[in-house]
Structure 1
Amino acid sequence: MMTTIRRGLAAVLLLLPVAAAAQTVPPGPTLTAIRAKGVLDCGANTGVAGFGAPDSRGIHQGLDPDICRAITAAIFGDPGRIRFTALTSQTRIPALQSGQVDVVARTFTWTMSREVSAGLQFGPTVFYDGQGFIVHRSANIQRATQLNGGTVCVSAGSTNELNLADWARINNITVQPLVFDQNEDARRAYESNRCDSYSLDASQLAAYRSSLHNPQDHVILPDVISKEPLTIAIRKGDQQWYDIMRWTVYALILAEELGVTQANAEEMLNSGNPDVRRLLGVSGDFGPSLSLDRRWAYNAIRAVGNYGEIFERHIGRNTPIGLERGLNNLWNRGGLLYAPPIR
């Protein structure tokens, strides 16, 4: 009798997780709105080579657009269901606050005031950066402190202007900021010698230098004057949307760590590694817990590759920008990229 009861209970317990797991969490307000309009609205850069810029066909290319495409693929299974809106440093926060865009991915620094006062939520850091300076080689400037008494071009609405003022105060020097609404205007002013230096995130300076007619005529100084954790951002108030954004980025990082690539993702569906199987949706119900398909991460990886592939494709050593991974390498390769496990 007892044996029969135990068997019956065991059968019920086996059935319960399956029934519960089969129930997908209902979509929240943001995901519902995105599905209703059929596209993800992504706030993009007006033009920073490698990080985000329209190509000759007007299609946004770069590290940030690919992060947005990964989120789109996680939602729809199709990275093409995306609409980019080019935003300046000044317009990106209002565009997000007003609902004009669903997410901003355009070299956006995570700061306390933006998160606490502006009502934004930031995802995992997608690029660890710091503000630097570019100067004309002919000026024979080796260190940023030699800019004392000089003029420095910066963009309005960015952290660069404040960082410049703080750095000058700390070093007891005087610099005159020349502030522009558009990055492109600041670049033109620097190129026409209206300012002695242009100050921007060091990675963007490398991208900018590579686009100049004679890159060798310009020097990026070794001084880095700030911390600039570049992330993607959303509006506060929708925890599910926050989870989808964060875990899609984490999935791209985990994919690199586990050796899952754009090319081998389908083959890796047959992997015996439990971590890989959970990442790709072969086991577990992590997609449905986000109101997404079980293959949400698989779809994201198939669309754009893992984090390392995205990095090397747009800004890595074999690109004109030629950046080393450095801090943007995986935690087990000397970098800071670290993703929580999917389990």
Structure 2
Amino acid sequence: MERSICLVHFNKTPGGIELLMPGIIRSFSRRKFHIFVIRPSDGPSVYENLDCEITFGSRSNTKAIWRLMQFARQHRRSVFHLFNVGPLFLLAIRLAGVSRVVYSIRGTVYWHNRIESVVLKRIWRMAIDSGRHIFTSNSEYSGNVFNEKVLSTVNCRLLYNYCDSGRFKVKSESEDQSGKNKIIYVGRLAAGKGLEEWLRVAVELHHDFPAICFEIYGSGKLEEMLKLQIEEKGASSYISMPGHRNDIENVYRSADLLLFLSERESFGNVVVESILCGTPVLVSDIPSMREIFRDYPEFILRKDTSITEQIRINLQKMEELKTRTLDAHRQFEQRFSMDSHIKTLAEIYGRFDD
């Protein structure tokens, strides 16, 4: 018997984790899905046009945990797939009697001080059932961090985030190929994404490349602060913030370069999506980017020299960067394919079927 699947994650709005959900649900059409979203919020939902039951938690951790436990008791015979929700929510479903658990590691920050470290490590150990729970990580890096910080005995199975190559694909010859001298950012507008540095670099590049426009796509807590900074820098004529786009593949294809200066990522969907669309990227030198671009170091901005100067040099040799982008595209189509992701997930879910 194929068991129903309960997906548990924090937000319904589009993000790296959330955008995986529609593809997973559609790929397992024979299974019934129940969704628990921990934080209720306004804004667009990744579950629009999908026929599945959605239960919301609360902005209060206490209320959210209580509602999750009620949800878990109701569906305790299902397979629960948790996406980076942390030890408290994992412990809650264990206490509710759920034994069939897949936990997907997506982050790399587990605590912020020594006291949190001591307390949360103990909660993790109470929450994890090593004999039954299956752990996956969206990169070798995130799995290694979990083993180093949380529990070394957990076997983290590598399960890269997938990208839909049918949606994210190189612009066809029949489409408009004219460049617009455009550099973009795509992602959440949140702390740790390097957005203040992104604005600083954009202003510096404008002096040498006045024809280039810069566009920031996404939504988040820093939106108003970024708009204010753009105005204060007198950069409103060449830096814009169009917001969230459902057709983000067209945004990639309309750009000349994706500039991604995040300070920390467990993976980095947007850089893979951009490459699949044939748009070059330049990224910060962090572990997850080194893993993604292990065979293509030219896309990584080194730490030992000026970021702005490195971008200037790359803008002057864009044809070379575009050629390497097409090389990477061919590798990424296989390495980060939806088929590979779903095949592995089907094998994992199948372990819990009767």
Q: Mark yes or no: TM-score above 0.5.
A: no
TM-score (structure 2 length as normaliser): 0.28
Of the two structures, which has the highest relative contact order with CA contacts closer than 8 Å and spacing of 6 or more?
A: 1
- Specify the structure having the higher radius of gyration (Cα): 1
TM-score normalised to structure 1 length: 0.29
